[in-house]
Homo-oligomer: A and B are copies of this chain.
Amino acid sequence: MTTPAAETKQTDQLDRSRVWFESLRDRICAEIEAIEVEAPLDLFPGEPAQFDLRARERDNGMGGGVGGFLTNGRLFEKACVHTSTARGILTPEMAQTMPGAKGVEQTYASTSISLIMHPRSPKVPTVHMNTRYFHTTDYWFGGGADLTPMLNRERHQTTDDAVLFHEFMKGACDPYNPDWHAKYKAWCDEYFFLPHRKVARGVGGIFFDRHNTGDFETDFAFTQAVGEAFLSSYPKIVRRRMMEGWDAADRAEQLEVRGLYVEFNLLYDRGTTFGLRAGGNVETILSSMPPAVTWG
């Protein structure tokens, strides 16, 4: 049971998280659109692309969201930024695995932002970021951000891009707890791993789930810091790497490495496999698929 006072507090937490995720979505879309305009003309001809924002509602009327789709841009071959907010009742299977779910009729609410960027240039890394708020009788945050360089010679920890990305993620964690970055970086490495190929999807970042220190304000501020770290780091990486040319061999390598992204998402990613099995919106869930992929 949730008391009326606790329910008001939870609704407030959900609303504040939702407003944050939606404003972060708009700022990220604006930044990506700015990069579309700035990208050097000799390497990226054509018209700058903009996000097409599509509202969607769940079939059960218990929520909805906004899917931001950018396709066939100058620098971004495909970029998707989605926010989603939902209320509902946990299935018994879900209730068993969730903190704070006490009965079979346990209600939940969630709000989230999720994004993936597939640049056209093989020199510019792909990136994924997702943060979410969830409550049952308890609340927690989850999410993370991870960077995927598309050339094999760049898929290690000591490149400038990897170092910069990790520095910003560490910067988001350290003010809250000096142990979190190491913990959440290790969790990211463990999560984004393809056991069948014995390779990591990319160079990692951070990954966290069921994050609840007992103080919502701290946890919310930390989640905001992760979003800010993404917004401060990835565009910086894109802007310096977009000045570099590439050749056909680089492009071929990028299309092959994208296969790892497909394999990971369809074989292992819990959000993707669970979402599809649970009847989620296919267009949104599979917007993570790269625009073009090859398998040798």
Contacts and interface: CB of A to CB of B under 8 A. Distances in A.
A265 to B, nearest CB: 9
Ranked 5 nearest A-B pairs via Cβ: A289-B295, A266-B266, A196-B276, A293-B293, A292-B294
Interface of A: 71, 195-197, 255, 259, 262-263, 266-267, 273, 276-277, 279-280, 282, 285-286, 289-296
Given A197-B282, A262-B262, A293 B294 contact: yes
A161 B282 CA distance: 30
A251 to B, nearest CB: 12
Contacts of A296: 71, 291
A279 to B, nearest CB: 8
Q: How many copies does the complex hold?
A: 2
Contact of A196 (B197, B263, B277, B291): B277
Contacts of A293: 262, 292-295
A256 to B, nearest CB: 11
B289 A291 contact: no
A292 B251 CA distance: 13
Q: Among A71, A195, A259, A276, which residue has the most Cβ atoms of chain B within 10 A? A: A276
A109 B95 CA distance: 42
Contacts of A262: 262, 266, 293
Q: Among A273, A277, A295, which residue has the most Cβ atoms of chain B within 10 A? A: A295
A282 B71 contact: no
A294 to B, nearest CB: 5
